[in-house]
Amino acid sequence: MDKHIIKLFNLEPNVNNITPLDLFKAYRNFDAYIAALQEYASQHELTEVEKFYFDFETDPRRKFFYEINQTYFQNYFLLIYFILSNPVLITKPTFANLYREKHLLSEITDHIIDLYKTMDSKSSRFFNKVLLDKFISNLDFSPLPDDSTGPEYKIYFNLFTQETTRLKMFLIELVKDPKWLEHPEQGLSEYDPQFFQFIFENNTGLKLNSSNDFIQIKKWAQKHLDHLMEEINQTCNRLLTNDEDKKKSVHEKMILVGNDQSQHWSSKQEMIDAHELCISKYRHIFIAQNQFKEFNPPGLIVLDNPLLAGGYYLKGNFYLNVCHWNNGNFKYEVENLTLHETIPGHHLQLDISHHSPNHNYLTALNFELCNGYVEGWALFAEHLGDSMLDDPWIYFGYLQSNIFRTFRIIAEILLHIEGQTPKQVIELAKQYLTTSEASITSEIYRYRVLPGQACSYKIGLEVFKRIIKQKFNVVEMKDYMRLDLQDWYKQVLWQTERPLDVLLREHGIIWTFDE
């Protein structure tokens, strides 16, 4: 199926050089795209992954979500800017592909404008003035410094700015319509619950029995969250030296421990050196010592850009953003972030996947159906380090991130099933998260405008743990590097990412939200 789609829509065949333009070329005429899938399926026997992909893409609800998917948080221009703001990618074939098809920029603008102009009353109610104002404010972009770019970059960025400005002017006029003030703050809760069920399944790759399952899913997530809060309370008590501090609330303890002076960096270079050392350590453990496959070693690219995330993985490189080295980045984060983003997390998994004969191009073009696998594996990878059980600081960092990923599930259900407003969910989040109110607000609005996606992390993690528990009778973290489990990791990574439903079925596991 992937070769058929590549040929029909003239897509970049190398997964490492795919750009947002490939997604646009496939989806801009959504009906033609669906017809192409149906034509192929009528003439070929589909693999399990292809069948899963086909069923979701051709579901009638899928078009509704495509029509509302150009938002302030995720749109074609933001995805392109992710490349334009990256000093490494602009020197690679990725940028060359963008430049070669620069004529598509104006077509993208026309397409997004057309989506909003033709949106029916049902779809338009997903948006309100707050969300459209955010979209407008997120369409201002800055280029890389002149000394780091060439003439083609400058030509492309000028065209890019012209088109984002044209879209911005359209949205400024659009938002003047008083109807946007009348639209609800809540997410999908005023629609049939099957809509959130669909997008939840689409992002996790895990099918539910019905939308009634969300009652149990919320209880399941709350049970996990309560356990994590108990664990972090005990861990804080181990780290706090003042007995009076130990009497404070769990949330107050988390703030005290999280900002402990011993965990601050003395310089940017110290922060960079610590991550380099950690990558080297786990590359030795997994590649040299335990013989996991490696086709390309992970690169470490240091950024100093407040507009980008603190750390992320993309196309063979771990991007470490040091802009908040003295106020927001801490030593206890290094181990988990490195395990998650490099080895044995994202880099190891995707490096193996892109070189495996089992790789499916469609999962790289539109990774949503495999997001539960990809993010679940990266979270599970945090359990495979050699320090967490012995170092309470590393365990504290792990617990903080796990609390964050678990709360996301509750937040999404509150917004999209129970009908709470973002403001109500923000107030609840303050009981569990210790980041700033601005950061929490940003996260909750992300869940509001991108339903389902944030659920995939924690659920993916627990699927991997459930398979290991039932297949190998292993539940203790100290046993996760057992030799027979290492062999299984190598096997499952070589089989490459797949929807969680397919992964569970391959191992004879029936999933329920009851543990």
Q: What is the mean pLDDT of residues 144-159?
A: 94
Beta-carbon contacts of 458 under 8 Å, excluding residues fewer than 6 positions away, are 221, 224, 379, 402, 405, 406, 408, 409
The 3-state secondary structure of 65-85 reads: HHHCCCCCCCCHHHHHHHHHC
**Confidence (pLDDT) at 442:** 92
Looking up tokens 């979701």, which residue turns up? 56
Residue 197, SS3 per DSSP: helix
**Confidence (pLDDT) at 365:** 85
**Confidence (pLDDT) at 251:** 96
Q: What is the mean pLDDT of residues 383-403?
A: 94
What are the pLDDT digits (tens) for 165-202? 999 999 999 999 999 999 999 999 999 999 999 999 99
The 3-state secondary structure of 104-137 reads: HHHHHHHHHHHHHHCCCHHHHCCCCHHHHHHHHH
Provide the 10 A C-beta neighbour count for residue 148.
11
Q: What is the mean pLDDT of residues 23-27?
A: 95
Measured CA to CA, the distance from residue 65 to residue 192 in angstroms comes to 13
Angle between helices 392-416 and 422-429 (to 10 degrees): 160
Q: Is residue 327 pLDDT above 70, yes or no? A: yes
Angle between helices 30-43 and 60-67 (to 10 degrees): 150
CA geometry: angle 482, 483, 487, nearest 5 deg = 120
**Confidence (pLDDT) at 147:** 87
Q: What is the mean pLDDT of residues 390-407?
A: 96
**Confidence (pLDDT) at 258:** 94
Burial class (CB in 10 A: 0-12, 13-18, 19+), 197: buried
Q: Is residue 309 pLDDT above 80, yes or no? A: no
What are the pLDDT digits (tens) for 267-281? 999 999 999 999 999
**Confidence (pLDDT) at 86:** 86
Q: How many residues does the chain have?
A: 515
Residue 487, SS3 per DSSP: helix
The strand pairing partners of 301, in sequence order, are 319
Looking up tokens 């801009």, which residue turns up? 28
User: Higher model confidence: residue 200 or residue 328?
Assistant: 200
pLDDT above 90: percentage of residues in the chain: 87
What are the pLDDT digits (tens) for 31-88? 999 999 999 999 999 999 999 999 999 999 999 999 999 999 899 999 999 899 888 8
Measured CA to CA, the distance from residue 301 to residue 147 in angstroms comes to 18
Q: Is residue 356 pLDDT above 70, yes or no? A: yes
Nearest to 203 by CA among 408, 407, 359: 408
Give every strand in the sheet of 311-314, ordered side by side.
299-303, 317-321, 311-314
What are the pLDDT digits (tens) for 227-266? 999 999 999 999 999 999 999 999 999 999 999 999 999 9
Q: With cut-offs at 50, 70 and 90, classify the pLDDT of residue 366.
A: confident
Q: Is residue 483 pLDDT above 70, yes or no? A: yes
Cβ–Cβ under 8 Å, residues 18 and 12: yes
Per-residue DSSP letter, 243: T
Measured CA to CA, the distance from residue 441 to residue 72 in angstroms comes to 14
Whole-number mean pLDDT of the chain?
94
Beta-carbon contacts of 289 under 8 Å, excluding residues fewer than 6 positions away, are none
Measured CA to CA, the distance from residue 372 to residue 376 in angstroms comes to 5
**Confidence (pLDDT) at 88:** 86
Measured CA to CA, the distance from residue 290 to residue 483 in angstroms comes to 9
pLDDT above 70: percentage of residues in the chain: 100
Terminal-residue alpha carbon distance, the chain: 37
Q: With cut-offs at 50, 70 and 90, classify the pLDDT of residue 307.
A: low
Q: With cut-offs at 50, 70 and 90, classify the pLDDT of residue 221.
A: very high
